Each structure stands twice: as C-alpha cells, then as structure tokens.
Chain A
C-alpha cells in the first residue's frame, strides 16, 4: 500500500476513510458476519486499497482494425481498469504515438452504450429487446441451425458475413466455427482492395510493398489516390523525412486531401483516369529513352509489346485531355520521376475502386518498373503485402462434422486473407457455397437452392459498409434469422433477431500483423471482459457446446477453449525465424519487426509464371483482362454528378465515429459541394440537401468546399450513432475490373457512382 498526493479523496471527494482502521472496528464488533446486503460480499484480499498514481500493470495490445498502421499499443491498467494507452515506443513505425482514433480506444470498453448481454429482439427493427442468457441465445441459434440441416439436408442456408472489423488472427475462428458446423454459404472477396491485388499479382506475382520506413530513401514520391495524412498518419513521417532529404512529394487525387495540402505538388486528376495519366507519363519516358533499359531487359517480359501499345495508342496530349493534368506538367513529372533514383509511387486503395481500377494499378506498376524502381530500397510500387501473415490459422482450420453435405465438388475459398488452403484436398467431396461479399444484398435475394435462411454477422456492419443499402433491406426481409456479434448498436444490430456482445481488444488474446509495415504485435488480455462479453472464438466454443448437447457430433469446434492458448497455437517456427524471436513470449517485451530486406522483390525473382516482371500478362488475359496494362475507359455516367465516398478523418469505415471523442470533432455528417456547383443548384453553406439517384438518397447538410472537384459530390463514408446518414444509399454494387483471381471476387466500383443534388 502506498499513498500519493493524488488521493482518492481529492479525486472524487467522497471517501475519506482508510480501510484498515475502519475494518478493525467492524471486525471487533462482529458486524460483518450478518450483513443484510444480497449482492456485495466480503473482500477476499487484505490489500484492497486503491492507489491512484504509478504502479500500473502494462499490457501489450495492437489496433486490430483495417488500417495500414496496425499500431502497437501499450495499455496501462490499474485495479483491473484500463487507465490510458499509448503507442509502443519499441516499434519504430508506431514510435510511441497513436492516431486520433486510436487514442479513443479507452472509450470502447467503458462506454455505457456498449452492447453488454446477449439479447433477442421481438420483431426486427422494433427495438423490443429481451435480455437472455448465453445458454438461451445459443439454444435458439443451435436449434435454428439444426432445423436448417433437417430441412435442406445441408447447411448452405447458413451464411457468414464477416470482414475487417477485427483482423486478429484468432478472429478467423469465426470462419472456423462455420466450417465446424458443416458446409455453409460464405460471402467472400473484399470490398477494399481486390482490383489492385490482382493487378500486382499479374505484374509481379504477388502484392508486396517495400517497408514504408525505407521511403526516407526515395528521391521522388508520388502518393497516388490515397490520403495518408488521414489514413496512415504514421507513414507521413517517412514522407516528410524523404522531403527533408531532398525528395519531391507529389500527390495525385481527385480530392485536394490533407495529404495533397502537405505535398510539393498536387494534381487534381479527373476521377478514374489515373491509367491515362500513368500511360501518358510512360509514353514520354519511352520516347525520351528515360526508361531503365538494362533493368527492363534483364527483369521483365513483354516490354516491347507494351512500348508498341504506348506508341500506337497513347500520347501525352491524349493523357492530358483524359486526366485534366496539363501536358507540360505530365512531361515534367515524367522526367522528374524517371530521373530521380530511387523514385516510388504509393498506390492508394481509392484509385482502384473503379471499373478500370485494376488496369490503372497495372499502368502505374509499369511506370515504376520501366524506370527500374522495382526491387530498390526507397523505390517500389507500394500497395500492400501479406508477407508477415504466415500463421498456422489454427482457429480458422476446422473440420466439417462427419457426413456434412454441401456443394458437390471442391471449390477453393479465396480471399485477401485466406492463406491456408482449407480442407485436406483428398477428403473433400463437398464445398461451401461461395458468393460475392460485394453483392451481399443481391446474392441473398438470388440464392434459392437452398435460400439463405440464416445470416451470422461478425466483424462487420453490412448496413453501413455493403453496397446498395435499400436492396439490403429487402435482402434481410428474406432471412429467417440474423445473428449479429458486435460492440455497439447499429443499423445491422437493429435489423437482427439476436445480438451477441463481443470483447474489445483489451479483453481478448490475439495476434496482429500489418498489410503495410513489417511489425508484429501480440494482443494481451489486459482486463477481464466487461459484462457478459465473449471473444469470437469463445462464442464459437459456446455454440459448439450447445450444438453437441442438442445433437452430439453436430459441431466439431472445441467446446472449451483457452483463448491465450489458442493465440499461442497460431505461431510456428517460420514466424519465429522471420521475426527473430524464440517464442511468442518475446513479444510481451514489445513488437518485433520481420527480418526482411526493406525492398520488395529485392532479389528480382518475381512470382509470375515467367519469374519476371510481366508488362504482358497472359494470366491477366485468362482472367478476362487485357494482357497489357492498357487503358480501360471509366464507367459511363449514370447520373449528373460523380459521388465520392472516401474515408473520413475521425473514423475507419463504420468504426470510431460513434465514440464520444470523435463526436466532439465530427458531430454530424456533411455533403461537400464545390461553390460553383452549389451556385448552379442555388445551395448555400448549411442548407439541407438531398443527394439522390435511382437506388436511393442521402439527406444532410451541405458544406461548400473547393477541395472537391466541381462536378462531384463528396460524402465521407461513416456510421453515426445518432444519424441515419448512410452513403450506401447511393452507392450501387457495380464490380470493379479485377479481384476475382486472388480474392475470389471482383471488387466494387465504389468511386464510380453518380447522383443528382437538390436543395430540400
């Protein structure tokens, strides 16, 4: 016991007594023996005094969200309560600081609005909720699953909607839970980055970016179609350091983002013409022999055909006309990029969310490759990587129960994060039914043999993140049961029959790797789970217990699990060797960085069929694309103005915006309109406006801003807890050009959307 100047009394002003002297009196009098209270119980330990400064227990956590930065966190706990968090100093990437969103993490476990108990809604959307025990919730769910099995003879009527709400390695136990029940329907693919993944796979044989920390060595940096200042704040220090060392920083984006504001040069490109700009630069580099001939000869195939394509189809003037970037500036940028060694392009995920997005990424890759910047420290076509994700996927890999039936034959479940092949090839005579996550509403409406009867939602908020929200409402009407696992109430929970409360990052064990930097963190259980929350794998075990009680053998998932032990089962020697650690316990001392050269493709051994960089990719052609990185025209306008729905500053997809700290800065949504367009529509700053097209409308307050192109409407993608604002009302599910090869499904043309605008 220690006393400090910051005593409980000065903190809260309500308790002046020291326990020890007081207790003595009570004990002596024998009063404690017969207290009338029915809840409180005698303390079990003598050392119960609370101290308010110092003496923290420190735990390792990691931000598990879908973010470049995947920060390593240090969590300070006292009396079993998180007091504050900070970025881990051991990671040179996180470097002791979190982002504005991350610092809000302490608001999550202790928000009074958190989902606390399993609950059943009597009528979706009625708000008539009953609190039930885990046992009752599982009983209802298990009986429904058994009923589906009985009715259809398989479990294809049970579907999973899960994506990036929590990227913890053990959270793949959700997919594992589905396999352990039988062959089910999986909504696969990724709405995020699939076109670019395919593009990089066609060009180089994998998606593999340089270590972002080596960007300091770049002499020329183009940040193309991404807003790192909001979405990867920890990377910006490397951009600044490159600048300090003399590099030029160029940003290309339809929106004048915060990153653009920090650059030396910014080009407001016409949306979805990125391929034209890249090819225009390539043509100029080619004509002026500024390309790296030696590199191209030694390390690539198809360059001559690419050069012919450029000569025959591309001119700088054409590129200028398409992209809106003046020809003189295209020339200048091309010359500077080609002659600065090393030069790098950070390809943002925004620019591939188009019907020509994959093609645009291939054109940009080609620009980086032809200038000899692939495989170089400080160079590279940086998009992402999954090189540090070689875990065992113990939680993911579960066997179907004996006799389970599904779709006849073997079908491979693909996905951006599906590393483990799945079942033993020899044993498989049935497969899951694989449907497109990017058309979730449509596939639910279309699936009839058997229909999707039950949907399990985890790590996802489909009503906020899936496309064509009004179609989603219809799709949900078709579902017989919806179970949602979440931390906070949102529209998906509102449209569910059962909600199950899930733990926050502080209350569970897992591991977190990044798809951008090279660091690895463990996520320790820093506090015990609040209320009746359980982690996703504990929920799976609880369901398995009920399934097996009702029908022995109906679920293979273990019925009792130790989540810490399950975390340790994800490690293997390969991971230990890669990160230079002896055991996972080493990560308790701090995050570890992969012992990899900082330059992707440093050995110039590419993963393509030819083993070289492929300007011409037959694989791309096999998957329905052009073999060369040719220009693909943008989507035809379907309404008057383009709608852009990029990431917001105070949130990550549907997460964080609901937290009080975010709300202080960002209390309500706006539609951002260029003053010129606003004048045409007689809209003034602060007016309520309607953004509408054939699939729906969004009504909110207008903010006039010159950061937006004059022919576009900007609305940040977000979920507000007290506002029906939802950009998916006007975003349809049109596919992007690539994604099916590596992630199983094409992506979505999120930024190829159009609508009209009117003052209300």
Chain B
C-alpha cells in the first residue's frame, strides 16, 4: 500500500482500530517522524470532532465547504469533482449519500489519475490531472490549516495532514513542470 492510500483510508476510518491501521501503513517516506500514539481512542474522539460529528465539524473534509461561496456540500464544487471522476469513467460508490468531494474520494481519484498518466501519457489525461491537482491545491491547504489549528487538533492527525500536504506539494511540483512545458509549447 502506498502512502496516499494510507492517507485516503485514514480519513475514512470509522473507528480507532482503522485509524491505527492506516496510520501505521504510512511508510515514513515523508520527512516528518510520525508521533507515537498511546491512546487511539483519544485520536478517534478528536478525529470525530474534526471530520465526522455529531457536533459541528471543526474541519469538514469536503472541498466544497472551502471553495463554494455557500459553504455547503453537494454544490458546484461537488458536482465538478463528480464530473472529473466521470471523465475517468469513474463514480463514487456512495453517490448522493457521501459528497463526491470528500478528501478520501479525491485522493482515490488522484491515485487513478496517476495510474492512467503512467500508462498513457497523452495530453488529455495530463490536462485532467493538472486540473484536478489545481483543484486540490485550492482547498487542501485551507483544510490542513483548519485541522492544524482546530481546538481538537491531535499530533497524529496533524502528522497525517502534513503528509497529505507534503504529497500535494510534490504533485504540484510536477504540475508546475507540466504547465511550464505546456506554456513553452504554446
């Protein structure tokens, strides 16, 4: 399992056991050292306050909340993300029950795109990938900031979010190369 799969699974984890498992699957390819967690139930409580509920979420894990003027889910951003999945021939198994722009679904799409990109490097997939990374770059830093400064922030969760940011930085680095190459072509 690669790191991004582990991060994806972390944000979908329903309990302490699953949080622990996905956390431990982070390979350590990231610069930061993962903090040692003694009490996984504590992580679970913090995780739920941040991303699940039942109280108002401290850091909603949906891109639309950060990008739509309305701050709701299932709006323009969610639909645009849905269409990007559809462009890959994919859809969420939880269509219309979990917003398509949940961080885990977006990471899953990123995995798919990277795969397709490797297999076929043509320009359409490059453009889709670039657009999608652009989208993630627009919201993930805002999301990460909310997590890192939330009242219920937790070192383990912070670590995962930093890994996510790290990964995204690397992706966008590639993206910048792609974009400059594209501009040169034009």
Partner of A80, one of B44, B54, B96, B132: B96
Say whether A112 contacts B65, CB under 8 Å: yes
Contacts A17-B124, A17-B128 given; indicate if A528 touches B89 (C-beta within 8 A): no
User: How many of chain B's residues touch chain A, expressed as a range?
Assistant: 35 or more
Whether B185 is near chain A, meaning CB under 8 Å from some CB there, is no
CB distance from B53 to the nearest CB of A (A): 6
Whether A2 is near chain B, meaning CB under 8 Å from some CB there, is no
CB interface residues, B 92-131, toward A, < 8 Å:
92-93, 95-98, 104-105, 108-109, 111-112, 115-116, 119-120, 122, 124-125, 127-128, 131
Partner of B115, one of A21, A35, A489: A35
Say whether A115 contacts B115, CB under 8 Å: no
A493 to B135, CA, bound (A): 36
Say whether A12 contacts B79, CB under 8 Å: yes
Contacts A15-B83, A50-B83, A129-B48 given; indicate if A42 touches B90 (C-beta within 8 A): yes
Say whether B72 contacts A31, CB under 8 Å: no
A351 to B167, CA, bound (A): 64
Q: Which residues of A contact B72 (CB under 8 A)?
A: 106-107, 110-112
Whether B57 is near chain A, meaning CB under 8 Å from some CB there, is yes
Q: Which residues of A contact B160 (CB under 8 A)?
A: none
Say whether B89 contacts A14, CB under 8 Å: no
CB distance from A187 to the nearest CB of B (A): 23
Q: Which residues of A contact B15 (CB under 8 A)?
A: 130-131
Partner of B56, one of A36, A81, A489: A489
Q: Which residues of A contact B82 (CB under 8 A)?
A: 50, 79
Say whether A8 contacts B80, CB under 8 Å: yes
Smallest CB gap from A112: residue in B? B60
Q: Which residues of B contact A37 (CB under 8 A)?
A: 90, 108-109, 111-112, 115
Q: Which residues of B contact A209 (CB under 8 A)?
A: none
Partner of B127, one of A17, A41, A531, A721: A17
Contacts A25-B124, A129-B54, A489-B55 given; indicate if A31 touches B116 (C-beta within 8 A): yes
Q: Mark B1-24, 1 if CB is under 8 A from A, else 0.
A: 000010011001011100000000
Question: DSSP majority for the A interface?
Answer: loop
Q: Which residues of B contact A27 (CB under 8 A)?
A: 89
CB interface residues, A 513-530, toward B, < 8 Å:
527-530
Smallest CB gap from A116: residue in B? B53
CB distance from B80 to the nearest CB of A (A): 4
Whether B87 is near chain A, meaning CB under 8 Å from some CB there, is yes
A532 to B14, CA, bound (A): 13
Say whether A42 contacts B52, CB under 8 Å: no
Whether A298 is near chain B, meaning CB under 8 Å from some CB there, is no
Say whether B80 contacts A11, CB under 8 Å: yes
Contacts A112-B71, A119-B54 given; indicate if A19 touches B109 (C-beta within 8 A): no
A265 to B89, CA, bound (A): 67
CB distance from B126 to the nearest CB of A (A): 11
Whether A48 is near chain B, meaning CB under 8 Å from some CB there, is yes
Say whether A16 contacts B127, CB under 8 Å: yes
A15 to B130, CA, bound (A): 10
A493 to B95, CA, bound (A): 28
Q: Which residues of A contact B112 (CB under 8 A)?
A: 35-37, 40
Q: Which residues of B contact A131 (CB under 8 A)?
A: 14-15, 48, 52
Say whether A31 contacts B119, CB under 8 Å: yes
Say whether A41 contacts B93, CB under 8 Å: yes
Smallest CB gap from B52: residue in A? A131
Q: Mark A24-54, 1 if CB is under 8 A from B, else 0.
A: 0111010110111111111110001110100
A50 to B96, CA, bound (A): 14
A115 to B56, CA, bound (A): 8
Smallest CB gap from A118: residue in B? B54
Whether A127 is near chain B, meaning CB under 8 Å from some CB there, is yes
Whether A22 is near chain B, meaning CB under 8 Å from some CB there, is yes
Whether A639 is near chain B, meaning CB under 8 Å from some CB there, is no
CB distance from A490 to the nearest CB of B (A): 9
Say whether A19 contacts B53, CB under 8 Å: no
Contacts A39-B105, A129-B48 given; indicate if A489 touches B89 (C-beta within 8 A): no
Contacts A12-B76, A128-B45 given; indicate if A41 touches B131 (C-beta within 8 A): no
Say whether A40 contacts B91, CB under 8 Å: yes
Q: Which of A39, A128, A528 has the most C-beta atoms of chain B within 10 angstroms of its own C-beta?
A: A39
CB distance from A172 to the nearest CB of B (A): 25
A499 to B72, CA, bound (A): 22
CB distance from A652 to the nearest CB of B (A): 20
Q: What is the count of residue pairs linking A and B with beta-carbon distances less than 8 angstroms?
A: 213
Q: Mark B135-177, 1 if CB is under 8 A from A, else 0.
A: 1000000000000000000000000000000000000000000
Smallest CB gap from A81: residue in B? B74
Whether B88 is near chain A, meaning CB under 8 Å from some CB there, is yes
Smallest CB gap from B13: residue in A? A131
Contacts A115-B53, A130-B15, A531-B98 given; indicate if A15 touches B89 (C-beta within 8 A): no
Smallest CB gap from B45: residue in A? A128
Whether A383 is near chain B, meaning CB under 8 Å from some CB there, is no
Whether A754 is near chain B, meaning CB under 8 Å from some CB there, is no
Q: Which residues of B contact A110 (CB under 8 A)?
A: 72-75
Q: Which of A31, A112, A122, A531 has the most C-beta atoms of chain B within 10 angstroms of its own C-beta?
A: A112
A494 to B53, CA, bound (A): 11
Say whether B97 contacts A112, CB under 8 Å: no
Partner of A25, one of B78, B120, B135: B120
Whether A117 is near chain B, meaning CB under 8 Å from some CB there, is yes
Q: Which residues of A contact B120 (CB under 8 A)?
A: 25-26, 29, 31
Say whether A79 contacts B79, CB under 8 Å: yes
Partner of A129, one of B8, B45, B89, B91: B45
A29 to B115, CA, bound (A): 13
CB distance from A12 to the nearest CB of B (A): 4
A111 to B65, CA, bound (A): 9
Say whether B96 contacts A528, CB under 8 Å: yes
Say whether A36 contacts B85, CB under 8 Å: no
CB distance from B55 to the nearest CB of A (A): 4
A660 to B68, CA, bound (A): 14
Say whether A26 contacts B79, CB under 8 Å: no
CB distance from A59 to the nearest CB of B (A): 14
CB distance from A590 to the nearest CB of B (A): 26
CB interface residues, A 126-143, toward B, < 8 Å:
127-131, 133
Say whether A112 contacts B62, CB under 8 Å: yes
Q: Which residues of B contact A493 (CB under 8 A)?
A: 54-55
Say whether B76 contacts A39, CB under 8 Å: no
Q: Which residues of B contact A13 (CB under 8 A)?
A: 80
Contacts A36-B112, A39-B8, A531-B98 given; indicate if A489 touches B86 (C-beta within 8 A): no
Smallest CB gap from A128: residue in B? B45
Whether A711 is near chain B, meaning CB under 8 Å from some CB there, is no
Say whether B92 contacts A40, CB under 8 Å: yes
Contacts A12-B80, A80-B95, A119-B48 given; indicate if A40 touches B85 (C-beta within 8 A): yes
Q: Which residues of A contact B111 (CB under 8 A)?
A: 35-37
Contacts A26-B116, A721-B56 given; indicate if A531 touches B97 (C-beta within 8 A): yes
Say whether A127 contacts B73, CB under 8 Å: no
Say whether A40 contacts B108, CB under 8 Å: yes
Q: Which of A19, A52, A122 has the most C-beta atoms of chain B within 10 angstroms of its own C-beta?
A: A19
Q: Mark A182-220, 1 if CB is under 8 A from B, else 0.
A: 000000000000000000000000000000000000000
The 4 A-B residue pairs whose C-beta atoms are closest, nearest first, are A12-B80, A112-B60, A80-B96, A113-B56
14 further A-B pairs in the complex, CB-CB below 8 A; given A14-B134, A532-B97: A8-B79, A14-B80, A15-B80, A25-B122, A31-B120, A35-B116, A37-B109, A107-B72, A112-B60, A113-B60, A119-B48, A119-B53, A130-B45, A721-B56
Chain A residues engaging chain B, CB cutoff 8 angstroms: 8, 11-19, 21-23, 25-27, 29, 31-32, 34-44, 48-50, 52, 79-82, 106-107, 109-117, 119, 122, 127-131, 133, 489, 493-494, 499, 501, 527-532, 660, 721-722
Chain B residues engaging chain A, CB cutoff 8 angstroms: 5, 8-9, 12, 14-16, 41, 44-45, 48-49, 52-57, 60, 62, 65, 67, 71-93, 95-98, 104-105, 108-109, 111-112, 115-116, 119-120, 122, 124-125, 127-128, 131-132, 134-135
What are 14 of the A-B contact pairs (CB < 8 Å)? A16-B127, A19-B83, A22-B128, A25-B125, A26-B125, A29-B119, A32-B88, A35-B112, A36-B5, A36-B112, A40-B92, A116-B53, A122-B41, A129-B49
